[in-house]
Amino acid sequence: MEAVGATKNKTYQMVYIAVFAVLIAICSWISIPTMVPFTLQTFAVFLAVGVLGGKRGTLAVLVYILLGVIGVPVFAGFSAGVGALIGNTGGYIIGFLFTALIMWGMEKLFGRKSWVLIISMVLGLIACYAFGTAWFMIVYARNSGPIGLGTVLSWCVIPFIIPDIIKLSLASLLSKRLYKVIESI
């Protein structure tokens, strides 16, 4: 009887990972039109790790990225393929994996407390910004010529700070509630 329960549990875990990988994709397609349009990808990454925990949430992010790499149009603007990752903004997509890994590491060190979740989201977002910005500078310089850090920050980070703080706040509030629901199933 235990084998049936264990198999059922593993099946649920795989379904949760798949559902959150799809949620990240759906959120990447939702573009909020502001002065600089932004998507809800970071919200979904935060939510995946916040709800599923570090290991399963990180796997959801990895599945999302791998789906995009093999050609499923899961990235922003319904884009896909290796070209999307090696382009100017591909570093931010790869940065989502760093976000998830940092959140997982913080969870391992300090547990699933609300303050840990919020701090890990902030640190993960900073890592995503840093990796994505460095990537952007390298790829842009290779394709178009040198570019200054201030310019890249004004294009790729500063316009997104307030929306990302809002997404982070909403994800932290929803994570705790959804975690309780999933764990009770």
Range of the domain at 61: 2-184
Q: Which of 115, 95, 116 lies closest to 105, judged by CA?
A: 116
Report the predicted TM-score, pTM, of the whole model to 2 decimal places.
0.94
User: Rounded CA gap, 149 and 158, in Å?
Assistant: 12
- State whether the Cα torsion 133-50-18-43 is positive or negative: negative
The answer to whether 49 and 57 have CB atoms below 8 angstroms apart is yes
Q: Per-residue pLDDT for 2 more than 60?
A: no
pLDDT score, position 137: 97
Using one digit for the tens of pLDDT, what is the confidence trace for 75-119?
Answer: 999 999 999 999 999 999 999 999 999 999 999 999 999 999 999
Cα–Cα distances (Å) from 83 to 11, 97, 135, in that order, read 33, 18, 14
- CATH number of domain containing 72: 1.10.1760.20
Q: Which of 33, 41, 91 lies closest to 64, judged by CA?
A: 41
Using one digit for the tens of pLDDT, what is the confidence trace for 129-160?
Answer: 999 999 999 999 999 999 999 999 999 999 99
State the pLDDT confidence band at 184, using cuts at 50, 70 and 90. Answer: confident
pLDDT score, position 4: 66
Q: Which of 39, 16, 50, 26 lies closest to 121, judged by CA?
A: 50
The answer to whether 59 and 97 have CB atoms below 8 angstroms apart is no
The answer to whether 134 and 91 have CB atoms below 8 angstroms apart is yes
- Total count of domains within the chain: 1
Using one digit for the tens of pLDDT, what is the confidence trace for 15-70?
Answer: 999 999 999 999 999 999 887 789 999 999 999 999 999 999 999 999 999 999 99
